[in-house]
Amino acid sequence: MRERRIFFFDDGVGRFGPMTDLRDVAQWRTGVFDTRSRLARVVAKADDRLISIQAERDHIDWPDDVQLNDDSWLINARWLAIDGLEQVANLRPGQALRETSSNALIAQRGPTASAQDVVTATVTLIDRPWHVLDHLERAVTHDLQALDWDPLLTGGNDYSVTGAYKVLAEAEVDVQPRVVFDTRRGPIALAAGCAIGAGSVIEGPAYVGRGSRIVPLAYLRANTVVGDDCKVGGEVSFSVINDHSNKSHAGYLGHALVGRWVNLGADTNVSNLKNTYSPVRVQLESDSKPEDTGRTFVGPVIGDYARTAIGTRLNTGSVVGTAAMVAVSGFAPKHVERMTFHTDDGVSLYDVDKLLKTVEMMASRRGQDVHNDLRERLRALSNAPSHAENDSISRAFPKARIDRAS
């Protein structure tokens, strides 16, 4: 039997800032799940390999060691996979699925596809981080409906459920006394091993990942997703926190996209609304211009391994780069370049060897190892620094041609 492989390609249309420094956008949670997980539930098998490549639009320059067969799928990483899943699953060898209005390639089965053998569908593509927010409520609702979990038993530990939707739970969920689950707007799902601290309030739709801890008196407002192995406190609204990240203390986080292994210091607060109530503009890279998001509510985009000190204040529509550290007494810059230290004394580069030691220490505290491919990517991210006239620091990041994450 031939090996089935699913390739996620970057078609070069999107610009995602720190979201794609260390992984493709299909590996970011854009709801309860990421695109890979949504697709795997419908198309993939347990032993399938999920591989990422880089490409330019529809031209895919395959590395020599990539072998395609009729049981290989090519998947656009910008596709949210909350629609069109059945069309992709039902593709025949040599058949492709394209988006109706843009003609963007969504999926292809096999190494080639005939121009005459194309299926079209109206599906959801993203090309900026704030597009995740545009579709977050729909994605969270879609993902929660896919969970085949039992309802949490009510009344067993002095917690309450208000609303018509259910609270779903996997095994070994710890719900402490006086927790309030508000399911008037949607369901709530608690993954295995998570703990909800006493006196916390969670509004649905919402999700708390495996092994995560919601500290006592936390307030999780509707459309909040907490990934696996996180610790979250304070107030969080309409946000996605990816795996292994901490916001353990008081402070507000709203309309935010938070990467993996992020640590937000106590009383870190973000703005997600301008005083003028006008659309928010976001600068994704140091060498790019701010873009109009068309959204009134936009919080920060925070890259993997970023950290903030106690009392940090982030402006509306901020971008905090991968592995950056913010420790300033006033408002942080709206764009914090990747792998930099920002203090009241100025901006300095983060030495990559020191960073790797920190990353290894963070991983060891969670019983995990740091793989060589991550070390190589972080080193690549630190290459060729240049200082612009405004003393910000920019880097050219030569993205890896192929990511063999599974």
pLDDT digits (tens), the chain, 406 positions: 456 778 888 888 999 999 999 989 999 999 999 999 998 888 766 556 666 665 544 455 555 556 678 888 889 999 999 999 999 989 999 999 999 999 999 999 987 777 679 999 999 999 999 999 999 999 999 999 999 999 987 555 689 999 999 999 998 899 999 999 999 999 999 999 999 999 999 999 999 999 999 999 999 999 999 999 999 999 999 999 999 999 999 999 999 999 999 999 999 999 999 999 999 999 999 889 999 999 999 999 999 999 999 999 999 999 999 999 999 999 999 999 999 999 999 999 988 999 999 999 999 988 888 888 888 889 988 873 433 333 333 333 233 333 333 2
What's the rounded Cα separation, in Å, for the pair 309 and 306? 10
Q: Which residues of 212-245 are buried (b: 16+ CB within 10 A; e: fewer)?
A: bbbbeebbbbbbbbbbbbbbbbbbbbbbbbbbbb
Q: What is the pLDDT of residue 394?
A: 32
Phi, then psi, of 219 in degrees rounded to 5: -130, 105
Neighbours of 178 (CB within 10 A): 16
Q: What is the pLDDT of residue 61?
A: 55
Q: What is the pLDDT of residue 70?
A: 83
Give the number of C-alpha atoms closer than 13 A to the C-alpha of residue 25, restricted to the C-beta side: 29
- Are 346 and 332 in contact, with CB atoms under 8 Å apart? no
Give the number of C-alpha atoms closer than 13 A to the C-alpha of residue 272, restricted to the C-beta side: 19
- Reduced to 3 states (helix: H, G, I; strand: E, B; else coil), residue 232 is strand
Q: What is the pLDDT of residue 53?
A: 60
CATH superfamily of 134-349: Hexapeptide repeat proteins (2.160.10.10)
What's the rounded Cα separation, in Å, for the pair 372 and 38? 27
pTM score: 0.90
- Reduced to 3 states (helix: H, G, I; strand: E, B; else coil), residue 182 is strand
What's the rounded Cα separation, in Å, for the pair 142 and 223? 12
Residue whose C-alpha is closest to residue 266's, from 281, 286, 246, 285: 246
CATH 2.160.10.10 domain range(s) in the chain: 134-349
- Strands in 274-358 per DSSP E: 281-282, 291-292, 301-302, 307-308, 313-314, 319-320, 325-327, 335-336, 340-343, 346-349
Q: What is the pLDDT of residue 260?
A: 97
Q: What is the pLDDT of residue 322?
A: 96
Q: What is the pLDDT of residue 188?
A: 98
Report the first-to-last Cα separation within the chain, whole angstroms: 20
Residue whose C-alpha is closest to residue 325's, from 304, 339, 310: 339
Cα 148–Cα 135–Cα 84 angle in degrees, nearest 5: 65
What's the rounded Cα separation, in Å, for the pair 389 and 404? 38
Neighbours of 117 (CB within 10 A): 13
Percent helix, strand and coil across the chain, each to the nearest 5:
15, 30, 55
Question: Tokens 């929660």 sit at which residue?
Answer: 144
What's the rounded Cα separation, in Å, for the pair 234 and 251? 5
Q: What is the pLDDT of residue 114?
A: 72
- Are 338 and 22 in contact, with CB atoms under 8 Å apart? no
What's the rounded Cα separation, in Å, for the pair 129 and 288? 15
| Continuous segment of H or E residues that includes residue 132 | helix 130-134
Q: What is the pLDDT of residue 66?
A: 62
What's the rounded Cα separation, in Å, for the pair 403 and 22? 10
